[in-house]
Chains A and B, each alone.
Chain A
């Protein structure tokens, strides 16, 4: 046992020497412990709960297949669209999903450039979420064209009309932005995975596993000469992804802002959309990871401190979004444009008032609850609020799209859009795709960046003066470490037992 003094000394060594905050990873784990904890879920037998989750997600995915099949066969008439509402749930869903993806890139690129070490625990899952969200997003513009067999007209390909796409159209910018965003996200994610796939390769028992993970890890050895180029590539990709992610939602907002429709034609849209995207994305990361950290017993890796940081970002971006909502009304009044004033009055108090105030409550009011420390450090509270934010951000896009369209300049063309069952099933089905992909991710890919987490452990610093933590053979020590840290209010190093057979 350690005496109180020794424990305090160790605590000081483990925590940040400048801000004295709790360590990023609780329980003072050894390098091997990190490997074991993160590899366990993808190496053991498939858990029955995973199968349940997978089958549920796959069933919902099959709904998407049915809904899309029906759409391709019959055309967009199966949706509730009619003049003047030519865009409704399809584009709402597109913006919703693409926005969710932005948190992953923010964590992996922008927080990397700002040297935020806490991102290492959550970046892998968040980037995976980005990729799956982009997949879901791409469905909607792909199918909303109606005749999807000519969707390739969107690409600059020589076709039978020998015409090229109109490069002055923001919709075409969107095609490039979103596809390139998806491609770069996959590259970034896969590159981050290479060292961790090598870890799985080196631990693999079966021949098939060795071949598959060996193939995917491209012969990685952890050579210092390789790491140097690798880190440089990470830096470059982070540097490129940062303006990329900002440009993507900027261009998505151009789809609206470059039109002349009141309610869309505003210069605040790009920053407002980007803030909203990060806001919704962090809500989705929190929703997913609060469940994952509990289910996979990695609460010492994704700690309360990580959740608290995410909650703070939600409050910041939620406040930015709230500011934008208010400013839109101010500008509508200040412009003196009667159409602009009408559309905003109509947005808050017209037939879609319920959607507007759902959005406002979920996005502006609920993240302000995180000013209370008790709420932003409680996984249950963060989970509930993050669900509200997810709902609110979907409504934000619906409000922007539907309320600006449904009352045209001529009252004779006014229309009240209601979704049909196919609108609803297509949207619900896209969650099936998202959760099916996420299930496969949890089962086959290390869900936390193993190498990156190791590099933020105190003993990873070559100037670390303490004793290397011993490997801990107890099977589920994570809960113990977390419980201890919560009871003591600070970190007590878990009692270490030397592993048999170590040198």
Chain B
């Protein structure tokens, strides 16, 4: 493959959530933009340490739920009162209180689907290839190790500087990772 040997970034390994959190603060203060922390479970307070913006997923899911509920009510109105009007139990054709349960359920369905698919979309998943997978040590990120990767694509990136910084921050192992971003 072309670009196989291109530098992807510097990967540093840490032993505890505490070290990771501390290192994240410093990496952010050093002014890097394209970098990320990796951990086996969500580390409490890391969003603040990394300076992440809040996830927009809440709004997305809210819009999804409203859409689902509206479509649900619209569907029942159209089917019961427009396409095939049929009087049942002497009720009005558009007897909306009886349509609330299905409206609600469809709101939940669309909200849940948006939350799940939105999570994948915002995270750029599924992503079968990731240069980090070429690091043997990185396999422990889903077990008991914590990592920070500073990408070579960062405007401030200098290999030696990034390595120094991460070593100084208490990384137990620092390595270069190759591959396409």
Residues of A within 8 A of B (CB): 30-32, 35, 156, 162-168, 170, 172-173, 176-177, 180, 183-184, 187-188, 191, 195, 198-199, 201-203, 214-215, 218-233, 236-237, 240-241, 243-244, 247, 251, 254, 450-452, 454-455, 459-464, 468, 471, 503
How far is A481 from B58 in the complex, measured between Cα atoms in Å? 42
The residue from B41, B116, B173 contacting A191, defined by CB atoms under 8 A apart:
B116
- Do A229 and B119 touch across chains, with their CB atoms under 8 A apart? yes
Please report whether the interface of chain A is mostly helix, strand, loop or mixed according to DSSP: helix
Task: Identify the B interface with A (CB < 8 A).
Answer: 15-18, 20-21, 24, 36-47, 50, 52, 55, 57-58, 61, 65, 75-76, 79-80, 83-84, 86, 88-89, 91, 95, 98-99, 101-102, 104-106, 108-109, 111-113, 115-116, 118-120, 122-123, 125-130, 132, 138-144, 172-173
Kindly list chain A residues whose C-beta atoms are within 8 Å of the C-beta of B47.
Answer: 224, 228
Cβ–Cβ contact A237 & B116, under 8 A: yes
Bound-complex Cα distance A314 to B106 (A): 31
Q: Do residues A195 and B52 form an inter-chain contact, with CB atoms below 8 A?
A: no
Interface centre among B55, B58, B80, B113 (most CB of A within 10 A): B55
**Cβ of B58 and Cβ of A168 under 8 Å apart?**
no
Task: From known contacts A228-B47, A461-B44, infer whether A31 and B125 are also in contact, taking CB-CB under 8 Å.
Answer: no
CB-contact partner of B42 in A163, A188, A231, under 8 A: A231
Q: How far is the CB of A324 from chain B (nearest CB, A)?
A: 22
Q: Distance in Å from the Cβ of B150 to the closest Cβ of chain A? A: 13
Provided the pairs A219-B127, A221-B130, A451-B41 are in contact, do residues A167 and B99 lie with their beta carbons within 8 angstroms?
A: yes
8 tightest A-B contacts by CB?
A31-B144, A218-B126, A219-B127, A164-B79, A233-B119, A455-B41, A224-B37, A199-B142
10 A-B residue pairs with Cβ-Cβ distance under 8 Å, sorted by A, are A35-B143, A168-B88, A187-B113, A191-B119, A224-B37, A229-B55, A229-B119, A233-B57, A236-B61, A460-B43
Determine the chain A residues whose CB is within 8 A of the CB of B127 once the complex forms: 218-219
Given that A221-B132, A224-B37, A236-B111 are contacting pairs, would A173 and B119 also be in contact in the complex, using a CB cutoff of 8 Å? Answer: no
B41 and A237: CB pair below 8 A? Answer: no
Contacts of B118 in A (CB 8 A): 229, 233
B141: chain A residues within 8 A (beta carbon): 202, 221-222
Question: Is the beta-carbon distance between A455 and B119 smaller than 8 angstroms?
Answer: no
Complex Cα spacing A163 to B79, Å? 8
A-B pairs under 8 A by CB, number: 215
Chain B residue numbers with a CB within 8 Å of A156 are: 75, 79
**How far apart are the CA atoms of A170 and B89 in the complex, in Å?**
14
Q: Taking the nearest CB of chain B, how far is it from the CB of A472, in angstroms?
A: 12
B66 to chain A, nearest CB (A): 13
Residue pair A452, B41 in contact (C-beta under 8 Å): yes
CB distance from A242 to the nearest CB of B (A): 10
> When chains A and B are docked, how far (Å) is the Cα of A468 from the Cα of B144?
11
* A445→B18 CA distance, assembly (Å): 30
A221 touches B112 (CB 8 A): no
Q: How far is the CA of A105 from the CA of B143 in the complex (A)?
A: 27
Query: Quick one: given A167-B79, A195-B41, A225-B36, are A232 and B58 in contact (CB under 8 Å)?
Result: yes
Q: Are A225 and B123 in contact (CB under 8 A)?
A: yes
A454 to B123, CA, bound (A): 22
Would A187 and B116 count as touching, CB distance under 8 A? yes
Bound complex: CA A237 to CA B110 (Å) = 11
**A202 adjacent to B142 (CB under 8 Å):** yes
When the two chains form their complex, are residues A223 and B105 in contact, meaning their CB atoms are under 8 A apart? Answer: no
Docked complex Cα distance between A170 and B105 (Å): 13
Q: What's the least CB distance linking A199 to chain B, in Å? A: 4
Taking the closest CB of chain B, its distance from the CB of A387, in whole angstroms, is 33
Q: How far is the CA of A175 from the CA of B139 in the complex (A)?
A: 44
Contacts of A462 in B (CB 8 A): 17-18, 20-21, 43-46
CB contact between A233 and one of B17, B65, B105, B115 (< 8 Å): that residue: B115
B17 engages A214 (CB within 8 Å):
no
Nearest B residue to A158, CB-CB: B83
CB distance B119 to A232 under 8 Å? yes
Q: How far is the CB of B17 from chain A (nearest CB, A)?
A: 5
Say which residue of B24, B38, B75, B101 sits within 8 Å of A247 (CB atoms): B101
Residue of B whose beta carbon sits closest to that of A463? B18
A187-B102 contact, Cβ under 8 Å, with A35-B143, A461-B17 = no
**How many Å lie between the Cα of A30 and that of B141 in the bound state?**
14
CA distance A345 to B113 in the complex (A): 48
Given A167-B79, A173-B101, also A222-B40 (CB < 8 A): yes
B50 touches A224 (CB 8 A): yes
Extra contacts, 8 of them, besides A224-B50, A225-B123 (Cβ < 8 A), are: A170-B101, A176-B102, A176-B105, A184-B108, A219-B129, A224-B47, A237-B115, A462-B44
B50 partner residues in chain A, CB cutoff 8 A: 224-225
Instruction: Please determine whether A168 and B57 come into contact, CB atoms closer than 8 angstroms.
Output: no
